[in-house]
């Protein structure tokens, strides 16, 4: 008997939920960043210079990973809802994780 917490579907659920929570926590910071444009070109330029710091670049990479993981998890959930259940859906969870890693690496390498 497989314990529920060792099942790939459980881990996909956890990643989807945690990435959603992290993205929701990020939104106020995103709105503050967008608000700098309302204060003028100098404020926006100063903010954009600040975003070139290595820690901010690493956080950007983490954000792209979260977005990719949440997107892939959402697509997996849509497949679960609208397609009949099959064993290959374990593979869907692995593909979702692979997609998230690929998107994050592509972003990091393009930076």
Where do the domains of the chain lie?
A: 8-110
pLDDT of 22 reads: 92
pLDDT of 100 reads: 84
Instruction: State how far the Cα of 29 lies from the Cα of 86, in Å rounded to an integer.
Output: 40
pLDDT of 105 reads: 87
Instruction: State how far the Cα of 31 lies from the Cα of 26, in Å rounded to an integer.
Output: 9
pLDDT of 26 reads: 92
pTM, whole model, 2 decimals?
A: 0.67
The tokens describing 29, both together, are: 């910071």
- Mean pLDDT in order along the chain per 10 residues (111 residues): 71 89 92 90 92 91 90 84 74 80 86 77
Pick the CATH number of 8-110 from 1.20.1300.10, 2.130.10.10, 1.20.1340.10, 3.30.1330.60: 1.20.1300.10
pLDDT of 2 reads: 58
């Amino acid at each position: 008997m497989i314990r529920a917490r060792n099942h790939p579907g459980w881990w996909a659920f956890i990643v989807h939920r945690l990435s959603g929570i992290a993205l929701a926590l990020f939104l106020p910071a995103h709105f503050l960043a967008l608000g700098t444009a309302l204060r003028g070109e100098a404020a926006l330029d100063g903010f954009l210079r600040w975003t070139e710091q290595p820690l901010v670049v690493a956080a950007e990479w983490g954000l792209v990973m979260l977005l990719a993981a949440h997107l892939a998890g959402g697509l997996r959930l849509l497949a679960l809802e609208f397609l009949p259940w099959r064993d290959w859906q374990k593979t869907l969870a692995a593909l979702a994780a692979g997609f998230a890693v690929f998107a994050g690496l592509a972003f990091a390498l393009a930076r």
